[in-house]
Amino acid sequence: MQLPSALLEQAVAEFSKLPGIGKKTALRLVLHLLKQDPDKVRAFAESMVHMRTDTHFCQRCFNISDSLLCSICSNPMRKQEMICVVESIRDVIAIESTQQYNGTYHVLGGIISPLDGVGPDQLYIDQLIERTRTGDIKEIIFALNPTIQGDTTIYYIQKKLQPSEIRFTTIARGISFGGELEYADEMTLARSLQHRMPVDQLKV
């Protein structure tokens, strides 16, 4: 694809660096911006720089935040004795949108994955252990993806925290709501049989 302007070409190249954006999509987006008012394009650009340079990681839970403590950690209405351990900020957003959780979070920044060169030291695990030192934490809920790496991470953190009075739990694994048994993989089906639960726990 030969573009008539070097500046256009550069803008397309920048957009193509974003995940899931190919050359054709990038061109469509750039040509859209080209048609906009220069002030609007400037607002778009400034908002990206602003977001990148002026947001912080929460000092306590490493969620993204506009101030030193995020809005969840600094909210006295949230149960500070409960920590939900997640891999990324995106998981915080997903759980928050269920409106079913009223505790705090701890964002690890990844999961232990030796194949990808990610060890415990690259994650915010020490900071999580530090948070439990106060003795106020009653429960740690692991909300990690149900993969080998996720399970390894849970195992590692739990081991590091022993001996402890803290209750360790993980989000339930099983057949997705609305899912069909025949299409579930064997591992999921086997585990959901193994961890079967009393019918009276079902809530609609």
Where do contacts with its own copies occur on this chain (CB under 8 A)?
1-8, 10-11, 14-15, 17-21, 25, 27-34, 36, 38, 41-55, 63-66, 70-72, 88-90, 92-93, 96-97
**Toward its own copies, which CB reaches closer, 40 or 173?**
40
- Judged by CB, which is closer to its own copies: 91, or 131? 91
* Shortest CB 136 distance to its own copies, Å: 22
Q: Which is nearer to its own copies, 1 or 181 (CB)?
A: 1
AA letter at 143: A
To its own copies, the closest distance from the beta carbon of 122 in angstroms equals: 13
Q: How far is the CB of 38 from its own copies (least distance, A)?
A: 5
Q: What is the DSSP string of the chain?
A: ---S-HHHHHHHHHHHTSTT--HHHHHHHHHHHHHS-HHHHHHHHHHHHHHHHH-EE-TTT--EESSSS-TTTT-TTSEEEEEEEESSHHHHHHHHTTT---EEEEE-SS--BGGGTB-GGGTTHHHHHHHHTTS---EEEE---SSHHHHHHHHHHHHHH-S--PEEEE---SSPTT--GGGS-HHHHHHHHHT---GGG---
Minimal distance in Å, beta carbon 200 to its own copies? 32
Give the largest CA-CA distance in the chain.
Answer: 67
Q: Which of residues 1 and 77 has its CB atom nearest to its own copies in the complex?
A: 1
Q: If phi over 0 gives left and psi between -120 and 50 gives alpha, with beta otherwise, what is residue 20?
A: left
The CB-of-81 to its own copies minimum distance in angstroms stands at: 20
How near is the Cβ of 94 to its own copies at its closest, in Å?
9
